[in-house]
Amino acid sequence: MTPIRTERLILRNWEERDRDLFHRINSDETVMEFFPFRRDRAQADEKMDEMRAEIARQGYGWTAVEIAATGQCIGFVGLHDVEIESILPAGSIEIGWRLAPEFWGHGYVTEAAAALFDYGFETLGIDEISSFAVANNNRSTAVMERLGMRRDPSRDFDHPSVPDTHPQLRFHVFYRMTREDWQARKKAAR
């Protein structure tokens, strides 16, 4: 993957120096509030290796986000292949994010995601990018709305991967952006 630069950020593949941050965001109670799992160090290292290989293989995935001025990795924002039986068919692409809490509220996710919409729609030729979150995850749904994604209540769903031990995390709201919507949004912003 060729790194993607925005005004303040670099979106790139994972590097060895990112392991501590990656583990921290995958085990932090605040960051993982809407997930039914936490990763220990070995699990986090394994997942980061999987993500790095996916990006190297296909040119996109959950990409590391680095502050350009400091070189500090702050989390990830990325495009990811997703398939959820009877909800999202094979070939679907989602956009998602996870940052360390001290970097919330600075517009980093919105900035990175906007660059990834450009990359996904213009370079990769994706027709639709979706995102979904636990219904009361207001921080994530606010980002989806700032990006211009539209909620599609007809596609809201109970996530089949959420275990019965976490019923409060099961119901997910669904948002989407089509290539035509993104192009119209960009044209209107000019």
CATH of the domain at 56: 3.40.630.30
Q: Are strands 73-84 and 128-134 parallel, antiparallel or unpaired?
A: unpaired
Alpha-carbon distance of 60 to 4, in angstroms, equals 11
The total domain count for the chain is: 1
For residue 20, what pLDDT is reported? Answer: 98
The predicted pLDDT at position 85 comes to 87
pLDDT value, residue 69: 98
At residue 189, the pLDDT reads 86
Weakly modelled stretches of the chain, pLDDT under 50? none
Using one digit for the tens of pLDDT, what is the confidence trace for 76-115? 999 999 999 889 999 999 999 999 999 999 999 999 999 9
Cβ–Cβ < 8 Å for 158, 122? no
> Is pTM beyond 0.85 here?
yes
Query: pLDDT by residue (tens digit) across 177-188?
Result: 999 999 999 899
Domain encompassing residue 27: 4-189
